[in-house]
Structure 1
Amino acid sequence: MRDPYAILGVRRNAGQDEIKAAWRSVAKAVHPDHNQDDPLATQRFAEAGKAYELLRDPVLRSRYDRVRREAELRRMEAMKQKMRGPEPAEEPVDAETAEEAISRIFGVEPQAQPSPSKPKAAPQRPVDKGEAPADTRTEAVADSKREEASRLEATALRRSAAPAADLVAAIVRRIRGRIAKPAEKVPDLAVDVNVSIEQVVNRARLSVELPDGETVKLSIPPGTTDGQAIRLKEQGYRVTGMARGDVLATLRINQEGPFRTQGLDLVTTLPLDLEDAVLGCDTVLETPSGSVTVTVPAWSGSDKVIRIAGAGLRGADGEAGDLLVELRLMLREKPDDKVTDLMRSLRHGLYL
């Protein structure tokens, strides 16, 4: 089956209303009754129906998103492994020579060191007739052996005395002037988080479940508005050999209750009967931030908006938005004879 989001033409973070509207549009466009000349209309209609059935079910949709993301992670890991290529086999490091060990690590051939020269043989002096040749040769050989032993002892002392210093010096020479290349970062994970106005006012701490099944904690910051994005550092997907990505959480404030938001302003509707609209009144509203008294002026119609300063959401700087009260004129549930007679007399120019 193809990608259900692509079939319905919706975003991956689309809500249920958007998915339902897209399904109706696609179903109407590909319905076999409207495409009798298209032999594939039935197949496309069935495909759209399966896509809608999958996306309308939160459990099936979450499972599909998780499987799709895991497949993407495996593909990214395979591409990363292909780009890196086969790893070279490790070679044994000679602990005796620091230059050779660091050269193997950094891939640089060690500089050739001059090999110790062999001791020169003592020049043979011409033997005078009056000297003893055997004694002279014996003394020269002894001097040569003593010189060779001293040289070997000094070399052994140098190698055993400062291997750590040689190793540190070799490392410094290799990395001096080089800048370590930062690891490539995994793309950010974008999620939508639905919150209520009360949670925004109380700056609640939420638990957000990610598509891969992990749960992260999110604190609503002061001054939060609808559509605000919060970045959670290094809380996203993990991929071997790459820096962990971030979670980009977009807050969606529920607008279906008695209050809705416009930035930091709160908007609500106040129903009025005919008497209160004509004569005016005072009424108390319970808002997410507390009780507010609203004064309705006399002769207020449904097109009037009453603004109460400072009764909205509080911003990050401590300043609060306003409360906007939209008036709506309502009639009583049961007809009132007096009101009916009054309206009839006004229509016909009669006064009681």
Structure 2
Amino acid sequence: MRDPYSVLGVKRNAGQEEIKAAWRSLAKAVHPDQNHDDPFATIRFTEAGRAYDLLRDPEKRSRYDRQQREAELRRMEQMRRREAERKAKTEAPRMSGEDAEDMIARIFGVDARAPQADAKAQPRPQPQAGAAPAQDARKAAEEPAAEETAPARAGAPAAAIISAIIRRIRGSRARVEKAPDLVADVTVTVEDILNRVRPTIETPEGQTIRVPIGAGTTDGQVIRLKEAGYRIENLRRGDAVVTVRVAPGRFRVDGFDLKVDLPVTIENAVLGWETTIEGPLGPLPVTVPAWSGSDQAIRIEGEGLTKENGERGDLIAEVRLLLWEKPDDKMIDLMRSLREGLYL
């Protein structure tokens, strides 16, 4: 779903009256009856209704704002993580004289190999007379070996540096920890959920993973895929945390219920009406009670999304009052008489 504030053209701190006025103006401008030559008029009208339905409800609006803030924080965290990895890869080759553990110990001010350093720092015993030639021989034999092993120490790779940092922060150098999770969104339609279509996401290594969609799936649902996230050396692979987003269409998703607009003319709203609407799985009969006002909801049980226990939510048809394409003189006279107290 597009940002409802952008759809209605209001600011995020807009009041309910401003939101309602914006929706009325937009609905009138994009209504399909006023835009016969525009094939996308129905989509825009539905999108406007969905945006208004979300923002007019304080609880839904608060939940949406909170989800947007959390998503923005996740994106910022990913950007910081990628920037840190990029810097680590850039700087690693210049640190050819130390491995990851040595470098992290130096940064944190703790010598990870202090016992070895202390042993090396102890003063050597003074050679006794007559022992110098033998010691010099041994020293000469050992020096070439040291020269051969020194170049073998390569720069610490970025993954090793990150692993060492995480282990150092968590206070265990040898304990195996988990790499960060991969956070992603996947967009589906109501029809995709009902037909159990499996959308795909791509891992950082370029691997394609199919996301299971079925019973219990709705807008905002979080699906965790074990060990499908980031890979870091010496760490257990992270998970993929996927949030399901339902694309705007004929239906609006509210938990496991589906909402749809039901355009009704004034005379049918006043007198009542028997009609048929297109449900998610086919045509459904609907009875509009007499004297039905705009935004009145007609609930059709068991025609929504499937829950984890196998039950299904409801389909909710919301009445939207419409005027005729052309002005009707009799209706105008009737409305004028009601407003001004005149009787014909």
Give the alignment's TM-score, normalised by structure 1. Answer: 0.50
Indicate which of 192, 204, 208 corresponds to 1:215: 208
Answer yes or no: is the 8 Å Cα contact 2:256–2:312 preserved in 1. yes
Give distance in 2, aligned partners of 1:199 and 1:208: 15
| Partner residue, 1:287 | 279
Q: Does 1:309 align with 2:327?
A: no
SS of equivalent to 2:199 = strand
How far does residue 75 in structure 1 lie from its aligned partner after superposition? 3.4
Deviations 1:235-265 (A, max 9, x none): 11222222211111111112x3231111111
Taking CA–CA contacts closer than 8 Å with sequence separation of 6 or more, which of the two structures ends up with the larger relative contact order? 2
Q: Does 1:246 align with 2:259?
A: no
Give distance in 2, aligned partners of 1:19 and 1:188: 31
Deviations 1:111-149 (A, max 9, x none): xxxxxxxxxxxxxxxxxxxxxxxxxxxxxxxxxxxxxxx
Q: Does 1:193 align with 2:186?
A: yes
Q: Does 1:69 align with 2:61?
A: no
Amino acid at match of 2:279: T
Indicate which of 238, 260, 263 corresponds to 1:271: 263
Answer yes or no: is the 8 Å Cα contact 2:194–2:214 preserved in 1. no
How far does residue 210 in structure 1 lie from its aligned partner after superposition? 3.7
Deviations 1:252-287 (A, max 9, x none): 112x32311111111122111111111111221112
Indicate which of 260, 265, 270 corresponds to 2:252: 260
Give the RMSD, CA atoms, in angstroms.
3.8
Unaligned runs of 5+ in 2: 13-74, 105-173
How far does residue 74 in structure 1 lie from its aligned partner after superposition? 7.4
SS of equivalent to 1:205 = coil
Name the CA shift for 1:73/1:16 in 2 (closer, same or farther; >3 Å): farther
| Partner residue, 1:297 | 289
| Partner residue, 2:196 | 203
How far does residue 17 in structure 1 lie from its aligned partner after superposition? 8.1
Answer yes or no: is the 8 Å Cα contact 2:261–2:317 preserved in 1. yes
Name the CA shift for 1:19/1:292 in 2 (closer, same or farther; >3 Å): closer
Give the alignment's TM-score, normalised by structure 2. Answer: 0.51
Give distance in 2, aligned partners of 1:85 and 1:75: 12
Give distance in 2, aligned partners of 1:304 and 1:17: 22
Amino acid at match of 1:298: A
| Partner residue, 1:324 | 316
Deviations 1:192-245 (A, max 9, x none): 111111111111111213455432111113111221111111111222222211
Unaligned runs of 5+ in 1: 1-14, 26-61, 87-180
Which has the larger Rg? 1
Identical-pair percentage? 51
